[in-house]
Chain A
Amino acid sequence: MTLNSIDKNGFDLKLELARCLRCGFCYDLSWLGQYSMCPVVDICGFQSYGAKGKVILSNALIEHKLDWDKKIAERLYACVDCGSCELNCAMALPLKDIFHAMRVDAIKNGYSLGPHRVLSHNIKDTGNIYGIDSEDRALIAPKNPAADAQAKTIYFMGCVSTYLRREISSSTMNILEKAGISFNVLDEEICCGYPLWQEGREKEAKLVIRKNIEQLKKKGAKRLIFSCPSCYRMFKTIIPKLIGADAPFSLVHTVEVFDELLSKGKISVKSKPGRQLKVAYHDPCELGRQLGIYNAPRSILQKINGLQLIEFTRSRQWSFCCGGAGKFMMPNIKDFNEQISMKRLKELENERIDLVVSACPSCKSNLILGSEKLGSSIPVKDISELLYENLF
């Protein structure tokens, strides 16, 4: 689907754009206080950065009042795809689909921003977003402590947990091993294709999807476990749209697995008499708003002894992006991801928090960045690390 077209499901982009009320609900989370909903508008201010402005720009493109140029592309890519605008749109406009269609059109018209091109070249050349070749991968990636060649369950590590946040994949594999789950990893796991799709490179995204599915089938995979909510979303909701069929595996995020293991007593946590750890849980946009998983991580935290769960002012579906996605998406906005991360953490300034926890490798990285910038000593962990530390 591209601009000025109706896709096979009858989605009429022009009609959807014309339905916008321009009410600005897409910016606000105001009933909770002085908070913005859209992280990009929060930092950049001008209306063209928000959903309402982007809808006006899309209309202008369709009506040929504007032609593609670098400035439009910059505005268009100034989006973390956090989904908050769509959640609160008074007209229920499919804003994520609209903006994706615009990005596909941007690519068709040759407007790809520099850092995005680097990312797509890295994926094309090496199979991962960092451009690390496969020989080095073998050295860097955490080893599966209980590799089972016959296992039907595959732990799909994702680029960030493979190369940058290896403590997350290590903890996850250790927990799975403790629970006695037979699982394996892919020796040559490649990027799920999400960054390519997000940029609007659908053709290239389909290629990596097919490679991954082929590899997974060869491995005999029936079930995939993800640490990265973006990889999970890619397999669960984006692949069916792109290739017209569900990925042929059962799909699950680690928080769902961990919660089930705890509930069934397959793993158990240490008792911590006297401990009073105040833990704030940050809902990742991809896991929460995009996939609707809110309860499992909270359930895990409530089962760990000596923890008190603290909610951010903006939590669950109203959670505010940590800015993690901005690292790749918004090269033209200086320090975007740092600024957003600091805003997110400042929400906790009236609480005496001991630890911030999330369930997304990119969120962890970015929250650490914000915490450092704020000079905070509050540690940030992934829920897999926290759980593993607390297991018998």
Chain B
Amino acid sequence: MAKSLFEKAVKGIVGEKNISSEKVDRIAYSQSCTFEKAGLPALIVRPQSSRELSKIFRLANLHKKPVWIWGRGTLFVGSGVRDGFTIIDMTAMNKLIKIDKDNLCVTCQAGMTWGALNGELKKHGWELTVQGSGGLVSATVGGTIASNAVPHGLTKGGMTAEGVINLEVVLPTGETVRTGSASNPAGRPFFRFGNGADLTGLFIGSCGAFGAITEATLKIKRVASKEAFFCFGYDSYKNAYDAVKKMQKTECARFIVAVQGDLPEETEAQTLLHIILDGTVDSVAENSAIIEEINKRSGGKALDNTGTRNYWTSHDVMYSWLRWKDKFQYYRWRSSSRPYFCPEVTAVLPFPELTNFTGAFWKYWNGIRDKREKVGAFLKGFDIYFARGGGSIWIDTLYPADDKEAVDYGFRVQKKLFEMVLQYGGSVPLIGAGVQARYTIPRLGAYYGLLKTLKKSLDPNRILNPGVLAI
């Protein structure tokens, strides 16, 4: 097949080794973690630097070629890759640039994975204040920031955004900008809110609509000298949530997770509350006493904390442990019989709406029992990562992937749940280019208008990640 002028020009930038238009490669990038079908890209490019990326963007504008930034393709919320897109695989830009212990931050290229970054930091006794992607340690730093993923440790550390200090971003028109304190050519990345507007925040959660993140500076802290783990069983999610609200007020925990749905048979609890705390020996002792007291008074029954410990300390950070199952079993169990489609629903809700939403969810889910049993659907998990206030829900329902009726029904359930989220005042942190974007963003009035204005201004030819955020 004759190579296009665009392809030849890109090849001139990145070299033969880092570009492919072979079908064998294009197919391999046509599917991410999401179930939604993507298109077949025309070209795969692996830039080695921001400079190369900048040149590619200028060419893409010249040739009006849409480009799609690809970290590890681990986002579950819908791929926007369409036929003919050029995929920019960022994984070659994966270097750790500097651990700045004086200014408590680390700078790395965007293609480094969260797991790798934390792994490198831990060699030196440090860790990220925000533990990266809530889903997969194999996700890239750039991709996770662009998605503003809900991280492990949300309760104390906050969202991915809250661990980000500065970014280096290549704009769709090819200019490279540094944000915050790093915007000063003589400065260094260490402080987010310098030199005017918080442009770091503009790019976080933007799903690559406004620019491609190429470097990130993130907050780090010393690995705590002491950790403790608790698991409490509750008969009612309301009592569990009440305990969480009390714990949030004391800031005693690093991370609190509520697990509902498919719980271990050994426990009769309706909700499991996993609590992780760290700090000095004294602070952990003090906070442990607070946690035990609050949960006891709220009706929580202390249970074996092995799963909680394994969840937090094992490298794989697998949800299996939260359900007292061995590593990986959460994924392998039930799903082992046939492939399932999981139309994930993620949203953040404040109190008391979180409690009300939970009640509404169970009412809805129990009300569709006949239909879901007919299509063979089941609830894999209903988890809540609690934030400083409120929490982030994850609802994973499964449908047989090889049954069209079941899949269509799964999409309908997903849409209904997103509608409920918006009705209860929630917002959706993970947007992407799929159903989340289509169901939520266009309903946001002036906010949606502003997103479109920004897109038009920064990416006049709509070459970068077209379709994300429904803009």
**Interface-forming stretch among B117-125, B241-249, B380-388?**
B117-125
Which chain B residues lie closer than 8 Å to A31 at the CB level? 115, 118-119, 137, 315-316
Contact B331 A90, beta carbon cutoff 8 Å: yes
Q: Taking A15-B338, A18-B401, A24-B74 as contacts, is the C-beta distance between A30 and B115 under 8 angstroms?
A: yes
Give residues 49-81 of A contacting B (CB, 8 Å): 52-53, 56-57, 60, 65-66, 69, 71-72, 75
At the interface, yes or no: B427 with Cβ under 8 Å from chain A? Answer: no
At the interface, yes or no: A28 with Cβ under 8 Å from chain B? Answer: yes
At the interface, yes or no: A6 with Cβ under 8 Å from chain B? Answer: no
* Chain B: CB-nearest residue to A90: B331
Give residues 186-238 of B contacting A (CB, 8 Å): none
Give residues 47-73 of B contacting A (CB, 8 Å): 72-73
Which chain B residues lie closer than 8 Å to A22 at the CB level? 31-33, 73-74
**Interface-forming stretch among B18-26, B168-176, B300-308, B361-369?**
B18-26
A72, A88, A90: most-surrounded residue (chain B CB, <10 A): A90
Q: Taking A18-B339, A91-B332 as contacts, is the C-beta distance between A33 and B119 under 8 angstroms?
A: yes
At the interface, yes or no: A21 with Cβ under 8 Å from chain B? Answer: yes
Q: Taking A28-B116, A33-B123, A46-B46 as contacts, is the C-beta distance between A23 and B74 under 8 angstroms?
A: yes
* Chain A: CB-nearest residue to B23: A66
Which chain A residues lie closer than 8 Å to B25 at the CB level? 46-48
Min CB distance, A60 to chain B, in Å? 5
Q: C-beta contact mask, B59-103 vs A, less than 8 Å → 1, else 0?
A: 000000000000011100000000000000101101010000000
Q: Taking A28-B113, A30-B119 as contacts, is the C-beta distance between A57 and B74 under 8 angstroms?
A: no
Complex Cα gap A316–B116 (Å): 19
Contact A56 B27, beta carbon cutoff 8 Å: yes
At the interface, yes or no: B30 with Cβ under 8 Å from chain A? Answer: yes
At the interface, yes or no: B104 with Cβ under 8 Å from chain A? Answer: no
At the interface, yes or no: A377 with Cβ under 8 Å from chain B? Answer: no
Partner of B27, one of A28, A66, A91: A66
At the interface, yes or no: B183 with Cβ under 8 Å from chain A? Answer: no
Complex Cα gap A33–B117 (Å): 7
Contact A45 B115, beta carbon cutoff 8 Å: no
Task: Give the interface residue-count category, chain A.
Answer: 35 or more
Partner of A34, one of B116, B316, B339, B401: B116
B23, B24, B117, B335: most-surrounded residue (chain A CB, <10 A): B24
* Chain B: CB-nearest residue to A32: B119
Complex Cα gap A66–B40 (Å): 12
At the interface, yes or no: B29 with Cβ under 8 Å from chain A? Answer: yes
Complex Cα gap A32–B46 (Å): 25
Contact A24 B22, beta carbon cutoff 8 Å: no
* Chain A: CB-nearest residue to B123: A33
Contact A25 B119, beta carbon cutoff 8 Å: no
Q: C-beta contact mask, A84-98 vs B, less than 8 Å → 1, else 0?
A: 000010111000000
Which chain B residues lie closer than 8 Å to A25 at the CB level? 136-138, 316
Min CB distance, A6 to chain B, in Å? 14
Contact A24 B119, beta carbon cutoff 8 Å: no
* Chain B: CB-nearest residue to A23: B136
Contact A34 B46, beta carbon cutoff 8 Å: no
At the interface, yes or no: A130 with Cβ under 8 Å from chain B? Answer: no
Which chain B residues lie closer than 8 Å to A92 at the CB level? 328, 331-332, 336
Complex Cα gap A48–B26 (Å): 8
Which chain B residues lie closer than 8 Å to A46 at the CB level? 20, 25, 28, 44, 46, 89
Min CB distance, B46 to chain A, in Å? 5
Contact B28 A53, beta carbon cutoff 8 Å: yes
Complex Cα gap A92–B335 (Å): 11
Min CB distance, B279 to chain A, in Å? 22
At the interface, yes or no: A27 with Cβ under 8 Å from chain B? Answer: yes
* Chain B: CB-nearest residue to A41: B91
Partner of A57, one of B18, B27, B116, B332: B27
Give residues 390-410 of B contacting A (CB, 8 Å): 401-402
* Chain B: CB-nearest residue to A20: B339
Which chain B residues lie closer than 8 Å to A90 at the CB level? 318, 328, 331
Complex Cα gap A25–B44 (Å): 21
Which chain A residues lie closer than 8 Å to B22 at the CB level? 48, 71
Give residues 333-371 of B contacting A (CB, 8 Å): 335-336, 338-339
* Chain B: CB-nearest residue to A31: B315
Contact B138 A30, beta carbon cutoff 8 Å: yes
Which chain A residues lie closer than 8 Å to B335 at the CB level? 19, 91
Which chain A residues lie closer than 8 Å to B96 at the CB level? 34
Q: C-beta contact mask, B306-323 vs A, less than 8 Å → 1, else 0?
A: 000000000110100000
Contact A45 B328, beta carbon cutoff 8 Å: no
At the interface, yes or no: B165 with Cβ under 8 Å from chain A? Answer: no
Which chain A residues lie closer than 8 Å to B417 at the CB level? none
At the interface, yes or no: A35 with Cβ under 8 Å from chain B? Answer: yes
Q: C-beta contact mask, A1-45 vs B, less than 8 Å → 1, else 0?
A: 000000000000001001101111101101111110000000001
Contact B328 A48, beta carbon cutoff 8 Å: no
Partner of A48, one of B24, B72, B91, B115: B24
Which chain A residues lie closer than 8 Å to B18 at the CB level? 45
Which chain B residues lie closer than 8 Å to A88 at the CB level? 316
Which chain A residues lie closer than 8 Å to B33 at the CB level? 21-23
Complex Cα gap A48–B73 (Å): 13
Which chain A residues lie closer than 8 Å to B161 at the CB level? none
* Chain A: CB-nearest residue to B314: A31
Complex Cα gap A65–B119 (Å): 39
Min CB distance, B261 to chain A, in Å? 19
Min CB distance, A367 to chain B, in Å? 24
* Chain A: CB-nearest residue to B340: A19
Complex Cα gap A19–B23 (Å): 23
At the interface, yes or no: B42 with Cβ under 8 Å from chain A? Answer: no
Complex Cα gap A75–B25 (Å): 9
At the interface, yes or no: B150 with Cβ under 8 Å from chain A? Answer: no
Q: Taking A21-B33, A23-B136, A66-B23 as contacts, is the C-beta distance between A28 and B332 under 8 angstroms?
A: no
At the interface, yes or no: B112 with Cβ under 8 Å from chain A? Answer: yes
Complex Cα gap A18–B336 (Å): 11
For the complex of A and B, 5 pairs with smallest distance between CB atoms: A30-B115, A31-B315, A53-B28, A48-B28, A18-B339
A-B CB contact pairs (8 Å), 8 listed: A23-B138, A28-B116, A31-B115, A32-B119, A33-B116, A45-B46, A91-B331, A91-B335
Q: Taking beta carbons and an 8 Å cutoff, which residues of B are in contact with A? A: 18, 20, 22-25, 27-33, 44, 46, 72-74, 89, 91-92, 94, 96, 112-120, 123, 136-138, 315-316, 318, 328, 331-332, 335-336, 338-339, 401-402
Additional A-B contacts beyond A30-B137, A71-B23 (6; CB < 8 A): A15-B338, A18-B402, A31-B115, A46-B44, A47-B44, A90-B328
